[in-house]
Amino acid sequence: MTIRLYVLYLQGLIPRAKLLLTLGGTFFLAFWPLILVTIAAFLALYLVIDSCDPWFASL
């Protein structure tokens, strides 16, 4: 590749990086409630199983 192609490629690099970071952040924020519900469900299951099953708790 020539230097000119590298310069053309680098000119669009920053705007594309900003767009990708914005999309990634909004995708993560969109699923934040689902992540919290999943963590809460597994925590509740762990606490229920841990308190009622002596064999599982000893592992």
* Domain ranges within the chain, ordered by starting residue: 23-59
Q: Give the span between the Cα atoms of 56 and 8, in whole angstroms.
A: 61
Residue 31: the pLDDT is: 87
Ranges of H-type helices in the chain: 3-11, 13-30, 32-52, 54-57
What are 3-59's pLDDT values in tens digits? 776 677 778 788 888 888 888 878 778 888 999 999 999 999 888 877 666 665 555
